[in-house]
Every structure is written in C-alpha cells, then in structure tokens.
Amino acid sequence: MKKFDPKRPLWLYKLREYLLLFDGSSEEERMLAYRYGWHIFSVNRQHFEDFSNFIRRRKWFIYLSLIYPILFAFFSLVLALSVLTIELSLKLPFALIISGITAGIIYNLIGNTLKNIRETGIFLKYVDATKKLANFREFETLDFRDREGAQLFYENMRAKRDYNLVEISESRMDKTEKLLAIDFLLGGPGTLNELINKLCLDPNCSLSKEGVYRVLGEILTASPDNIKKDITKRVSEIRSGECLSPKRVDQLRNVKAIFHLAKLGLKASEIDRLIDTLESPRVGLKNGVECH
C-alpha cells in the first residue's frame, strides 16, 4: 500500500493524519492506519503513550476544522434570507436546500473521520497494555498491510473479545533448529555463516571464528565443533535443497511452527515454500548417488 510508506518521516505522517489522508471508508483501513502510525512512532524511538496522545489530540483538530463549513452554512442561510430578492415563502426552502447541501458536503468529507474519532477511545482501551497486555501484543504483531488480520482484529475489538497471552512452548528446539531459526530471521539458510565471515574479516572487530563458535555453543548449549559443522555445511546445504533427509524436513517444519507461534507469518510462509520445493519430485546425481 503506497499510502502506508514505512520510511515516511514522523512530521509528514502527522501532517497526513491531520489532512485526513488515512481515514479510509472501511474499519480495517482505519485499524491498519493505527498500526502504521504506531510503526512510524516506534521507529522514531517514541513510546506508545506518545502515539496515543497524538491520536487523542487529533480529534480536537478535526472539531476545529468543522468551524469553517459550519460558518459557511450559516452565512449561506443569512444570505438566502436577507439578500436574495425572492418571495419570503421561497427564501426559507431555498436556505434549507443550501444548508442541506453544505451538511452533505461536510458529512462526505469528515463523516468517516468523526466515526473514527468515536472509535479511537474504544481502540485505546482495548489495547491498554497495563490492563489488556494480550490485546496490545496482538496489535503489535499485526502487519499494517494485512487487511484480513486488521478486519479480524477490529471485529474482536467491537465484540470486546480479548486475546489470550501466548503460552511459552514447553518443547525444546534442538541445536540445528535454533540455528535454522536464526538463519531465517537474518534472511535465509547460510546467512549466519556469511555474517560471521564478514565480522571476522573486519579489522575493527578482531573476532576469531573459533571464538564466535564457542560463544554460539554456550548460547545454544552445543559444542563449538557441532556449531561449526552446522553453520558451514549442514545449514547452508538447505539452500541447495539436495538430498535432504526426512529429519531435516521435520526440523524445518518445527522452525515454521515457532514462526507461526510468534506470528511471523511471512517467515513461516517462506519456510513453507522451501519445504514445497524440497518435496517436489526431482531426480539428479550427487557424488554418484541418485537423489529423488
């Protein structure tokens, strides 16, 4: 969505809000606008309280902007009753017609905005992190391009259905699954190895590969040698997708489940596409061995 440009500066986002450029005709569009606004505030190192104060203050700007069309309607009414040289019996209907047209213009311009202002209070209560932490976390995981997710979130908000906190999984990932999860977070299979190579070749870092493997081994509860084998060979081989064992495919599915639990749908879909590619029929030779 072009209007939800994630690189837009904070001041420009605020200006566009004041100009009512994010007030869409549907509820999910406004929900996406809330999520987009919080994203802009967040990347500018501001707190959610700053964002909520802004969208509260925004309504007073909207109310003030009503003064001009109301004054226009009033003067139109005065003009029709005093200046026009027509019969008095015709002046009043004419004045009512002009006022009605003006009221219609006002409603079309800011009718959705006034509705959104009323729902802002409902939204802020629904995502109050001090009382509704699960709702706030669900809002934070919402992507500001996900219309279906925004519609579902809006429906739950209007129905006052609270989300439940995600339970921490009791299952433990093995060492290879942890490395795969890190790799996919960074970009894809083999990305961690490329990063380590860059760090160790950078004269400003002064890191040794063996030292990096030892630290990763401590973090992931595995021996440095096993970490080294997985990073330099076994994880990167997934990128080529050649002769992967059923166990490796199961590990990919476990990592996908973790991404789903964390509501990182795009990363989960990325692993899904990779699994589909790996499981598609293919025949080839690798070191003289037939691979299917």
Here the tokens at position 194 are: 């490329």
Of the pLDDT bands very low, low, confident and very high (cuts 50, 70, 90), residue 59 is confident
Per the CB < 8 A criterion, the answer to whether 181 and 255 are in contact is yes
Q: Summarize the confidence of residues 225-235 as an average pLDDT.
A: 78
Residue 290's beta-bridge partner residues? 285
* Nearest CA-CA partner of 166 in 252, 257, 253, 47: 257
Here the tokens at position 177 are: 């699954």
Q: Which residue has the higher pLDDT, 146 or 86?
A: 146
> Of 56-65, 94-103, 221-230, where does mean pLDDT reach its minimum?
94-103
Half-sphere exposure of residue 228: CA atoms within 13 angstroms, side-chain side: 10
Q: Kindly state the helix (H) or strand (E) to which residue 286 belongs, with its residue range.
A: strand 284-286
Burial 59-98, CB ≥16 within 10 A → b, else e: beebeebeeebeeebeebbeebeeeeeeeeeebeebbeeb
- Phi/psi of residue 289, nearest 5 degrees: -110, 135
> Of 25-34, 135-144, 163-172, 268-277, where does mean pLDDT reach its minimum?
163-172
Residue 268 has pLDDT above 50, yes or no: yes
Cα–Cα dist 92/98, whole Å: 10
State the pLDDT at residue 287. 44
Q: Summarize the confidence of residues 250-275 as an average pLDDT.
A: 82
Half-sphere exposure of residue 21: CA atoms within 13 angstroms, side-chain side: 14
Here the tokens at position 202 are: 């950078």
> Of 34-38, 166-170, 201-205, where does mean pLDDT reach its minimum?
166-170
Domain ranges of the chain: 10-158, 175-291
Here the tokens at position 249 are: 């495919």
Q: Summarize the confidence of residues 82-103 as an average pLDDT.
A: 70
Helix, strand, or coil here: 284?
A: strand
> For the purposes of burial, counting CB atoms within 10 Å of the CB of 249, is it exposed (0-12), middle (13-18) or buried (19 or more)?
middle
Q: Summarize the confidence of residues 223-249 as an average pLDDT.
A: 75
Residue 270's alpha-carbon distances to 76, 139, 146, in angstroms, are 60, 22, 17
State the pLDDT at residue 13. 92
Cα–Cα dist 50/260, whole Å: 30
Per the CB < 8 A criterion, the answer to whether 269 and 184 are in contact is no
**Residues contacting 279, CB < 8 A, separation 6+:** 249
pLDDT digits (tens, 9 = 90+) for 180-229: 888 888 888 888 888 888 888 888 877 888 888 888 888 888 888 888 88
Sign of the dihedral through C-alpha 9, 15, 17, 22? negative
State the pLDDT at residue 169. 52
